Amino acid sequence: MHENVQPINQGYGGAAMAEQRNKVLRNTYWLLAISLVPTVLGAWLGVASGITRSLTGGLGLIVFLGGAFAFMYAIEKTKNSSMGVPVLLAFTFFMGLMLSRMISAVLGFQNGTELIMTAFGGTAGVFFVMASLSSVIKRDLSGMGKWLFVGAIAVIVGGIINVFVGSTAAMMAISVAVIGIFSAYMLYDLKRIVDGGETNYISATLALYLDIMNVFQALLALLGLTSGERD
């Protein structure tokens, strides 16, 4: 009789863990979808009002990095409280505002709207592929983390330098690198949720939101540089 107790308990424990992982994944997907609404509103407000037009060069970089890191710190501090979701949504609104400068620049092209929709569709496609892969890959991908982090730091530093250099070729190379690195980060972050490595859906949403935003911005920049049509 005692021999059967452990397997039964393990079965219940395994089912409970699987249910917990599925709950985190569901909540993450819902919050990720909701977080796109403030992003769109922020981008629309920025384009319509031109409020971020003066944030060029080093000033824009300081405002963006200062605001982004302040929000991420606040999200980390509030992720286990009722303030976690509002702070995250405020961050996504801020990111939309910051994105509005690039959106405005792309809308200056004759085919600007088409480029934005193409970048959105491409980003959605990448996310769909990575979400599908995360559910079928059995291998542990946790070892990818340190290499992806190094790659992310490298492109961030390269991007900061290029703000002052203004090289089109460097911008294209950085954009391609960002798409590759943050697409892989998307898979890594999704796999962590699937494997139970991330149990807080606010942290999970933040990670995936940053992956998506980086891929979208890099894809939009690349399309603008290579396919933008002047009037």
Q: Which helix (H) or strand (E) holds 210?
A: helix 201-227
Contacts of 219 (CB under 8 A, 6+ apart): 119, 122, 123, 175, 179
8 pLDDT band (50/70/90 cuts)? very low
pLDDT of residue 11: 52
pLDDT tens string 75-98: 999 998 889 999 999 999 999 998
Q: 3 in a domain, yes or no?
A: no
**Contact indicator for 230, 180 with CB cutoff of 8 Å:** no
| pLDDT > 90 fraction of the chain, expressed in percent and rounded | 46
Encoded amino acid at 187, one letter: L
Q: What value does the mean pLDDT take over residues 49-63?
A: 73
The strand ranges marked E within 45-203 are none
Q: What is the largest CA-CA distance in the chain?
A: 81
Tokens of 104: 């405005």
Q: Which residue has the higher pLDDT, 43 or 5?
A: 43
pLDDT of residue 58: 65
pLDDT of 56 over the 70 cut:
no
pLDDT of residue 226: 85
Q: 229 in a domain, yes or no?
A: no
Contacts of 99 (CB under 8 A, 6+ apart): 39, 42, 43, 46, 213, 217
Q: 18 in a domain, yes or no?
A: yes
Rounded to whole angstroms, the Cα distance separating 200 from 27 reads: 9
Q: 117 in a domain, yes or no?
A: yes
Q: What value does the mean pLDDT take over residues 169-191?
A: 92
pLDDT tens string 100-116: 888 988 988 888 899 99
Write out the residue range of the structural domain in which residue 104 sits.
8-224
pLDDT of residue 13: 56
Global confidence as pTM = 0.86
pLDDT of 2 over the 70 cut:
no
pLDDT tens string 25-35: 889 999 999 99
Q: 210 in a domain, yes or no?
A: yes
- The chain-wide mean pLDDT, for the chain, equals 86
Among 108-112, 123-127, 173-177, 204-208, the range scoring the smallest mean pLDDT is 108-112
How many independent structural domains does the chain possess?
1
Q: 1 in a domain, yes or no?
A: no
Pick the most confident of 10-19, 64-73, 177-186.
177-186
